[in-house]
Structures are given as C-alpha cells and as structure tokens.
Structure 1
C-alpha cells in the first residue's frame, strides 16, 4: 500500500509545484521579452545616431569618426544597408565584446557616404543571471509569504473537518455519548456534519436494536430448551421405552445440549462485541490451567501434562480467562487421539498447548473463523476457537497455530509490548 499524504501537505505540494513551474516559465518568457525590447531600443539608438550624422552632413558640418563607435567615410558607390552583430576588442576590459553594428549608405550634397554606428550589446549571460536572480528573490519571497498564508488559511478553513474527523475516529457503538461535531460556515462541511450525525444516530439505533434482539433471542431460547429437556426426562423416568425410542430420545438430548452450548457461545461472542466484559483483575492463569487439567483428568477424558516454568499472571476479566483456557483445552481433547498425551507449557508471558494430529490442517488461515470446521465428522459448534481469537483481540494478545512433528500447537502470547 502506498504511503498516504495529509491533505494540507498534498495541497501545499501542488501549490509549490505549480508556483515553481510558473516561476520558471515566467523567467524564460521575461528573459526573451526583455532581450527583444533591449535589441529594439539598441537599434533605435543606432537609427537615431545615423539620422543626426546625416543631418549634420546635409548642413555642411564636418562629422569626425570615432572608431569603433562611429565611422563616416566617403565611398564611390552606394550599397544596401547592413545590420549585424560583430565582435570588437574593448581596451578598457581587455577582452572581446559583442557590438551591434549598423552600416548605411547615403548620397548627401552630391557625395556618397558610408555611415557606420556601433553600440555595445549587454552580455546575455550577465543579463540572464540578473533576471534569474531578481526573479528568484521576488518569487522566493512571494512563495514564502503565499505558502504560509495559504497553509494557515487552509488549516483554518479545514479545521471543522479535521475536528469532526477526530470525533469519528473516537466514535464507539457501545458509548451513548453524543458526537461533539463542529459547525462550519462552509456549505459542504456543514452538510457533511449533518450527514455524519444522521448516520451515527441510525447506526447506534440499529446496533441497539440488534443487540436487544440477540439478547432476547438468547434469553427466550433457554426456556423452551429447558422445558423440552424436562419433558424428555419425564418420558424416560415415567414410562418404559424401547431401545429405538431410547436412542432417539438420547439423540434429541444431545441436540438440545448442542443448542444450549451454541446459544451460550453466541451470547459470549455478542457480549465481547458489545464490550460488556468490563471487569479487569489480576488473574492467575497458572492456577486456572492446573484446575482445568485436574478436572479433565477426573473425567478421564484424556491424558494431560502441564509444565509451568513460571507463574502466569494476566490482567483481564476472570470469566473470559476461564473461557480462554477451557476452549483451548477442550479443542485439544476433541481432536486428540485418546492414547496420546496433551502437553501444556506455560511461563510468565505465554501459553502453549499441543495435541497429536495425523496431518496438518488444509485451511489453517480459517481456523479462527466463526462456524468453521475442518471436517463435518467433528461434532462441534465451530465457535470455540473464534471465541479464543475474539478474547485475544480484545486484550491485544497474540494467538497462533502451527503443525510440527505430527502435533498441533496453539500458542498465546500475553505480552502486549
């Protein structure tokens, strides 16, 4: 992804680039235009000097020559006038200088004259340097003034937008505090503020409705499930049933338990999404792990070994800590070979659990997605690991998975640094 640029920098950069291009183009145009004007002025001086010399000769005055500036010579025949550049040695500068030379032929008082006038041309390099320096100084000062004026003006103009943007960044569905949006005299910013207010109010209303709906459905499901379970127990206890009926009722009971578990886990996910777990305590995860391991050992569900290198104390909600450890251990038991040992290793900042596996997962990237199951043969809700990921995201823990040496490894790094 390319680096993003702030709006003020973007507009200022555009302003500077545009100004630079205009400055260069104006400098070039000014150079050629001024050079053209100076050449015209120089030629006018040459023509004017020639007219004065011609008038003096017509009046019978003697006009002396001042080489190489002015030369008046009698010639035998008249020729076309010549206007050209020439190079003449300048004894004052002791170097060759560029002159503009105008040579014209006139017949005055019955005599043919060649009148030659020369004027020194300003050197182009000096001329260009003078123009560039003056333009750089003028445009530089103008740029500095306009840049800071434009930037400060833009900051003032966009201030309501930036403040409203900060408010949007702090917007939270779980908070009922209204957004403190800033009004602006700019029509578009004012319309944006009104649309943001309308949108956030609608989102909050929809969120509250969805939250209430989820809670109501979760609550209402518990009662009919409990009633169905009680009626099934009455059927089993009050009358004799054959083997087929017993199998069917047992299957119904398992489905009821699955629905209860699914309802419970969806409720947990919803509460995490709604930031309803606000209790924060120093939790001894090492003790929770030991208790869970002993409980599962008593049920003889699997062989487990816990190696603790140091006490693992984490600041979080105690209930979520229980769910985190329980879901990881339950997942390992569910997918483990009953003859293999489940190994748990913990230290002061991490937790690793491993169980035997015949092959690696086909889609490990989807492992923490809701309702994802690698195989339909596994009787699970597909929410256990999703809850683990949601809890880790809530507290900025890092959960990861890998497959090595015929074992699945789930790791949780509790360090938030």
Structure 2
C-alpha cells in the first residue's frame, strides 16, 4: 500500500472514531442545557405569578396564554421546593410525543400557601438528535472525501522531492562513474534522506571500483606467474628425466592448472557479485546450449558416455551470453566428470527449465552443500569445487532457481526460468526411491 493511502486511511479512521464521540458528548451537553434553560424560564414565570399575588394584582391576564395552574394548599411549604417533573407526553394537537417539563413551586403569600405549577412542551431531544445524526453522516462523508482529495493533492506537492529521489535511485547504475545528485527540497527530513543516500552511493561506488580493480589485478597478476610456471614445467618435460621426476612434473602441471582454474573462477564470482554482467537482454539460449553440448561431446566419448538431448529450438532467456555459456558448460562438465564409465547424460530444455541428469554414484556430502564453494561430491575428483557455486551465483544474478536431486541412480540438476511454473510443480516426479529436491539457497 502506498504511503499516501496509509496516511489517508489513518485520518479516515480518526474521523470515524472522533466524530461520533464528539457527537455523543455534544448531544448530552445540548440536552442538559436545553432542560436547564427551560427550568429557569418556568421558575421565573412562577416567580412572576407570586409577585403579582403579593402585590394584589390580577393574574388572569398573565396566565391567559400560558400553561399555569394556581392553587392554595393547606399546610406548610414542602421541603422539596421547587419540584421538577419531566415526562414524554402527547401535546395537545400533536401526533408525535414531546418532552413535557413541569415546574411546581410553593410560596406563602399574605398568610396563604400557594402552589404554582407551570409547564411547557418542547421538541423531544431524541427527535432533534436524529436530525443531528443525519447531519453527522453527511459531515463524515464530506470530511472523508475532502481527506482523500487533499491527500492526493498533498502527495503531488509534498512528496514530489521523494518521488524524484526514488526515480534517481531507480536509474542509478553503480558501473557508471557518475555520482548520484539529488535535488534539495524545503522539507528537512527529505534533505537528510537525500544526503544519506548520496553518501552511501558514493561509498558504494568507491568500494565497487576497489573490488573491480582488485579482480582485474588478480586476474592479470596471478595468471602471469602461473603461465611462467606452466612454461617452465613444459620445458622440464623436454629434458631427460627419470620416471619419478616425470610423475612429479605431471603432478605440478595438474596443480598449476587447478590453481589457474581457481583464480579464474574466483575472479568470475567477484565480477558477478559486482553486477558487471548485463542480464537484461534476451538471447537464444537453445543455441548456446546446443553449442556447449557439442563442445563437450568429445570428452563424453573418451569416457564412453552417451549424451542425449531433448531441447526446444525456440527458447529465449534474459541472461548475458557469457553467463549462459558458463552456466551450461559447468553443468555439462559436472555431469561428465562425476559420471561413470559407459554412463549416460540427458539434457532437457524448455521455455520453463533447463535440466541435466547423469548416472553416477551418490554424493558423499549433504545435498545442500553442493552449491557451496570448494565443496565437492568426491574429494578424489580433479575439480576445484567452484563449478556449482558459479552456477548458483549465475542463477541469483538472473533470478533463476536451481535444484538438485538424486533419483534412481541419477544426479538431476534443474534450472528454472519461470517462477510461476516452479510454483505449480514439485520439481521432479515423486518416486519411492526419490530423495527430496534441494534448492540452492538464495
């Protein structure tokens, strides 16, 4: 929910709560004041009658148009004086019930105790406040509409700098050597936010430049001595050596190649973590997969491994071409390296997923650790333990999901391109010998 909608909803809730409460309080206060005023008026009428009686003047003219009763009573003046009675009654000539107020007072005049009762009918407060309630509903409706309209207008004016900041952040690219410049506003909080964002983006650009420089230097500086070592060992192999020395040199070459692969893989991971690859373009993934599979066919033939594929020829995926090539190559290399003699590899590609399965012995480590760096299913294998970690990193960069399962003697790696497709299936069809599908942690 947008911020302005939350603010509008908050104010509407305040209106819905406060307005009825204030109406109830106002109703009680108005009703009390109305009755108190009418009581005072009737008491003043009674007092006027006593004054006329005391002065010996006729009272008929005064009481002619008023609801007043005068009677002489025996006995002393009652302790409760005046007496006020309220009741809802039918007024003469009226179909609706009204509130009747009777005020009776006692006064001794010229040795005689007179009882004077005056009363009046006025509108029932309940009827009066029903009209107020309708007015209240209209008031709340108009206030609600006013809040919604004014909030939208206020949002365009007050939150304009904030929206401008969000747009600048959305278009900011850390790979471009251009600092983020945010416009200032008259709101102090927005200015503080802009200053903080500018500071953090500048710091991020500096750290990105440092990390990129390190990866470039590492790629160049480490590969150079490795190339020299590789050349020296090749020269040694051309000299007269005994079998023991030849074995040592062969092992040295193997370790040099492994170190070179580790360096290249770590540099590649660093570049992906720094988002140096543009993954917004759509490429023909099926063509890249076909080329990579054909490239590794010779290696599969050396191990007498049968490679079959069922690939859709119209699969377009949003991924960088280099990353697509590395993704397929690492999975293919893994399927052949951890396969067995006379085994098989099956490749399947659709618009929703890319799946590679191969025969082979079960892995000796927990399935969830397969995608971690320097974790290998077999420590005796010549791999460096970074292939699946790179695959996982590529999937994270491209918003893909990758899973692993071991079913009926086959290792199954599946890369899902479509999140909706992933939510509709269980990964791989269930089986009695099926082990749970493990997704790489994002």
1:72–1:361 distance in 2 versus 1, CA, 3 Å: farther
2:291 to 288, 292, 313: 288
State which drifts further: 69-78 or 16-25. 16-25
Aligned-pair CA distance for 1:46: 0.9
State which drifts further: 71-80 or 30-39. 71-80
Q: Name the CA distance, whole Å, in 2 between partners of 1:362 and 1:242.
A: 36
Task: Note if 1:211 corresponds to 2:212.
Answer: yes
2:249 alignment counterpart: 249
Contact 2:27–2:129 (8 Å) recurs in 1 = yes
User: For 1:115-126, what aligned pairs fall within 5 Å after superposition?
Assistant: 115-126=116-127
Gaps of 5+ in 2: 421-442
- Match of 2:238, SS state, is helix
Q: Name the CA distance, whole Å, in 1 between partners of 2:410 and 2:284.
A: 32
Q: Name the CA distance, whole Å, in 2 between partners of 1:317 and 1:115.
A: 103
1:171 alignment counterpart: 172
User: For 1:134-173, what aligned pairs fall within 5 Å after superposition?
Assistant: 134-173=135-174
1:281–1:90 distance in 2 versus 1, CA, 3 Å: closer
Contact 2:392–2:402 (8 Å) recurs in 1 = yes
- Match of 1:23, SS state, is helix
Gaps of 5+ in 1: none
1:19 alignment counterpart: 15
2:54 alignment counterpart: 58
1:37–1:19 distance in 2 versus 1, CA, 3 Å: same
Aligned-pair CA distance for 1:55: 2.0
Contact 2:334–2:387 (8 Å) recurs in 1 = yes
**Cα offsets for 1:100-123 (capped at 9, x unmatched):** 111112222332211111122432
User: For 1:68-79, what aligned pairs fall within 5 Å after superposition?
Assistant: 69-79=67-77
2:33 to 33, 37, 42: 37
**Cα offsets for 1:112-156 (capped at 9, x unmatched):** 211111122432311322333334434543454355335523542
The size of the alignment, in residue pairs, is 411
- Match of 1:238, SS state, is coil
1:177–1:312 distance in 2 versus 1, CA, 3 Å: same
Aligned-pair CA distance for 1:39: 1.2
Task: Note if 1:228 corresponds to 2:236.
Answer: no
2:390 alignment counterpart: 387
Q: Name the CA distance, whole Å, in 2 between partners of 1:349 and 1:138.
A: 56
1:10 to 6, 11, 17: 6
State which drifts further: 70-79 or 311-320. 311-320
**TM-score, L = length of structure 2:** 0.82
Task: Note if 1:405 corresponds to 2:408.
Answer: yes
1:304 alignment counterpart: 306
1:162–1:39 distance in 2 versus 1, CA, 3 Å: same
Q: Name the CA distance, whole Å, in 1 between partners of 2:256 and 2:121.
A: 109
**Cα offsets for 1:306-340 (capped at 9, x unmatched):** 13354355465554443222211111122222243
1:190–1:73 distance in 2 versus 1, CA, 3 Å: same
Aligned-pair CA distance for 1:412: 3.3
1:345–1:151 distance in 2 versus 1, CA, 3 Å: closer
**TM-score, L = length of structure 1:** 0.86
